[in-house]
Amino acid sequence: MKLSDKTKEVLLGPLSANNPVIVQILGICSALAVTVQLKPALVMGIAVTIIVAMSNVVIAAMRNTIPMRIRIIVQLVVVAALVTLVSEFLKAFAYDVAMQLSVYIGLIITNCILMGRLEAFAMSNNVWDSLLDGLGNGLGYAIILVIVAFFRELLGSGTLFGVQVIPDWCYNHGYVNNGMMMMPAMALILVGCIIWVHRSINKEEKK
């Protein structure tokens, strides 16, 4: 099925040009908290993508029947229900990751990306466009988490997905893991570097 230019913008825009983390500066807290290792960062990204997409669909389908004065409450109830389902699924099938993510899965309810998309997009668009918007914003968020986690785990632990990738001979010749990468402040610095690179590239493209 061929997508229109508008539909492509809704789906692909959040991946780069309108990324929720590095352009809209949303969801930064979880980028600091769950990116020490790739595995929890990837799971968190997938979880947020599913929840944003599905909550967008539900709210878009109900938008004409939701009283405006209680719309925020309805949105929160929908998000909370989806977060609970995802949390229970992780506990059942990926318990170790669920324990690593700890309270941060529950805190998806307060993620600014979720409420922002529900209020700004799903409440005024159809189900299909809202689904694409949710997928785009969720994947845009997940991409940044994965990039940050990649560098933090690689440089901080010498591993990726828990598997050692920096060979022993590097350590034998004096290489030392950068312990600062394990600190939340380094996640913020890495996000800042990504924002700088992204804006530099976009600036060059505009010229």
pLDDT band for position 204 (cuts 50, 70, 90) = low
Q: Rounded distance, CA 28 to CA 148, Å?
A: 11
Q: What is the pLDDT of residues 42-95, one digit of tens each?
A: 999 999 999 999 999 999 999 999 998 999 999 999 999 999 999 999 999 888
pTM reported for the whole predicted model: 0.89
pLDDT band for position 112 (cuts 50, 70, 90) = confident
Residue 53 · residue 121 · CB < 8 Å: no
Residue 2's alpha-carbon distances to 5, 157, 205, in angstroms, are 10, 44, 26
Residue 87 · residue 105 · CB < 8 Å: yes
Residue 144 · residue 19 · CB < 8 Å: yes
Mean pLDDT across the stretch 14-31?
Answer: 85
Q: What's phi and psi for 169, nearest 5 deg? A: -65, -25
